[in-house]
Structure 1
Amino acid sequence: MRTLKRIFGVLLIFFFGCFIGAAVTGAGAMQKLRETLLGGPEAVMDVVVKRLDHELKLDDEQKRKLQSIVDDARIKLRQSRLKIQPEVEGTLQEAEQRTRAILYPSQVKKFDDLITRSRAKWKAAEIPIAAPAPAAATPAPGTPAPVPAEDAK
C-alpha cells in the first residue's frame, strides 16, 4: 500500500509538472505572438527575417541584402499607411459616434475613457515614419567602392 501511494505521488507530481510546463509555455508563446502582432508590420518582418536566417542558414552577404529588401519594404509600407490613415481614422470616428448613440448616459463616460486609453496605447506603439539608418556607410559619389578581401586576390 505504501509503495502504491509513493508511485501515485510521483505520478501526480509528474503530471502536475507537465501541466504547469505546458501552461507556461503556451502563455509565453501567446505573449510573443501578441507582441509581434501589436508591433505591426515592422515586428512581423523582423520575425520573418529571423526565421529565414535560421531556416536557410543565410551567409553574411545574404543577410545584408535581405535586410536591405526588408528596409525598402518597411518604407513602402509606411508610405502606404500614410495614404490610408485618414480613411481608417474616419471609419473609426464614425464607429465611435455610432457606438455612443447606443450607450446609456452612464456608459458614455466609461466608453470615452476606454477610447482615450486605447488611443494613448496606439500612439505609444506607433512607429515614426522615417527611413531606417543605413546598415553600412555608402561611399560618396565618384569614390570607388571598397573591394571585399575575397575579391581582392
Structure 2
Amino acid sequence: MTKILLIVYTLVTSVAYTSLVVYFSTQASGLSMSYIGAILLAATALVAVGREKISGVDTNKKIKEKTDEIDALKELLKQNQAMLHSVKPNVIHNVINVSGADEFLSTMKGLATFHNESLVINNIDLGSDLDGGEYLDILKVKVKAK
C-alpha cells in the first residue's frame, strides 16, 4: 500500500513541479530569477520531504514491531530472573537443612575452588553494568573451552 501511495505522490508532485516550471518559463510575470529559483527549490524540498515521510511509514512499523519484540523478551527475562531468585532460597535450604553437613561442606569447597580457579570470575568487575545473563554467557564460554 505504501508503494502505491508513493507512486501516486510522485506522479502528482512531478506533474505539479513540471507545471510550475512551464508556468515560470512561459509567463514572464515580472518575478526575478532569484524568486523563481527559490520557489522551485522550495517545491523540490517539499517533494523530497513528502517522499521521505511516506517511505518512512514502513520503516516505523518495522521498528515498532522489533521494539515490541524486545520489550516482550525483556519481560520474559525479568520473569525468569524472578523465578530463579525465588528458587534460590529453596535450593540453599535443601543444601543446608536436608542434605548432610558433609555434602554442604563439599559443595562449599567446590564453589570456593571454582571461584579461585576461574579466570573469568577473578578478572571480571561485578560492579560494572554486567548483568546475570552476560555473566552466565561468559561462564558457558569458559565451560565450552575446557
TM-score above 0.5: no
Normalized per residue, which structure has more helix? 2
Larger-Rg structure: 2
Sort the TM-score into its range (normalised by shorter chain): 0.3 to 0.5
